[in-house]
Structure 1
Amino acid sequence: MSKPTLTISSKTYSAWSLRGWLLCRLAGLDVELVDVPNDASNRAELLLLSPSVLVPRLSIGKLSVWDTLAIAETLNELHPEAQMLPKDAAARALCRSVSGEIHSGFSNLRSALPMNLKVRHESFPIFSGAKPDIERIEAIWLECLQRYKGPFLFGKKPTVADAMFAPVTQRFLTYAVPMTAEIAAYCEAVTAWAPMAEWIALAKAEPEDIEELDVEF
Structure 2
Amino acid sequence: MYKLFIANKNYSSWSLRPWLLMCHLEIPFNEQLVNFEEGGSWEKFHSFSPTGLVPCLVDNDTTVWDSLAIAEYLAESYSQVWPIDKLARAWARSASAEMHSGFVVLREVCAMNCGLIIELKEISEQLKKELNRIDELWQEGLGRFGGPFLAGKTFTAVDAFYAPIAIRLKNYNLPTSHVAEGYVEGILNLPAMKRWISEALQEPWRESAHEEEVNNSGLVVEDLRG
Both proteins in one fold, TM over 0.5: yes
Alignment equivalent of 2:135, drawn from 134, 138, 146: 138
Higher strand share: 2
Residue 106 of structure 1: aligned partner: 103
Give deviations 1:29-70, integer Å, cap 9, x for gaps: 222222222234642221221121210011122221111110
Q: Would the aligned equivalents of 2:22 and 2:28 in 1 still touch at CA under 8 Å?
A: yes
Alignment equivalent of 1:181, drawn from 152, 168, 178: 178
TM-superposed deviation, 1:212: 4.8
Query: For the residues of structure 2 that align with 1:204 and 1:178, how far apart are their CA atoms?
Result: 24
Residue 19 of structure 1: aligned partner: 17
Matched positions, count: 211
Check 1:100–1:31 CA distance in 2 against 1; reply closer, same or farther (3 A cut). Answer: same
Tell me, yes or no, if structure 1 residue 78 matches structure 2 residue 77: yes
Q: Would the aligned equivalents of 1:86 and 1:95 in 2 still touch at CA under 8 Å?
A: yes
Structure 2 matches for 1:88-167, cutoff 5 A? 88-121=85-118, 125-167=122-164
Q: Would the aligned equivalents of 2:55 and 2:66 in 1 still touch at CA under 8 Å?
A: yes
Q: Would the aligned equivalents of 1:20 and 1:56 in 2 still touch at CA under 8 Å?
A: yes
Check 1:42–1:111 CA distance in 2 against 1; reply closer, same or farther (3 A cut). Answer: closer
Residue 8 of structure 1: aligned partner: 6
Query: Which deviates further from its counterpart, 5-14 or 33-42?
Result: 33-42
Q: Would the aligned equivalents of 1:9 and 1:56 in 2 still touch at CA under 8 Å?
A: yes
Tell me the SS of whatever aligns to 2:47. helix
TM-superposed deviation, 1:148: 1.5
Structure 2: which 5+ residue stretches go unaligned? 214-226
Letter in 1 for 2:14: W
Tell me, yes or no, if structure 1 residue 207 matches structure 2 residue 207: no
Check 1:120–1:41 CA distance in 2 against 1; reply closer, same or farther (3 A cut). Answer: closer
TM-score scaled by structure 2?
A: 0.86
Residue 66 of structure 1: aligned partner: 65
Percent of aligned positions with the same letter in both sequences? 37
TM-superposed deviation, 1:161: 0.4
Tell me the SS of whatever aligns to 2:58. strand
Tell me the SS of whatever aligns to 2:81. coil
TM-superposed deviation, 1:199: 0.5
Tell me the SS of whatever aligns to 1:96. helix
Residue 28 of structure 1: aligned partner: 26
